[in-house]
A and B are shown apart, each in its own frame.
Chain A
């Protein structure tokens, strides 16, 4: 494999986010915020502020959407530029 992730990371896919804000409410370290931008459906999507994710995963389970949120934990092995 390739690289080992040295710090956790959460990825929000803007076009699959419905802007409900439940992940923002759920995040214990407040690293998810509403974007000022819209998705093509007109939702303010959630985004990661690029700092402070602990990889706890609660946002993944709080999010009702199947693939709007992906959480990469510390130690995740990845190849190339899949993450980051």
Chain B
């Protein structure tokens, strides 16, 4: 690993964000986590002020994405990431309350790498996040395009 992977978390519910962060940390993942509570600021960070994504060129990213955002649909963000040549290689984990099969199918079609439904049962929830942490630790985030 040449560059440490940065986790970008786009989650409007601060409670969820906190719980996710805690459980990721508990699973032993110590990567930097950058949180956004709305789509606009996340887009701005990901694609830079010029909107081309050039700003993130060469950075290894992992995106944790909630679909229900106050200002836009997470699906749109997913689509934009997967259409951007600098970002499309970054893994995207959709972590949301929506468990509609149509929606899940749509996300995978758009290139989402993992789709996780937030379970209300906390044990399951914590478990899922920890699994995700394990996943992070084994995943080979490809070096960003030079």
Partners in one complex: no
A interface list, Cβ under 8 A from B: none
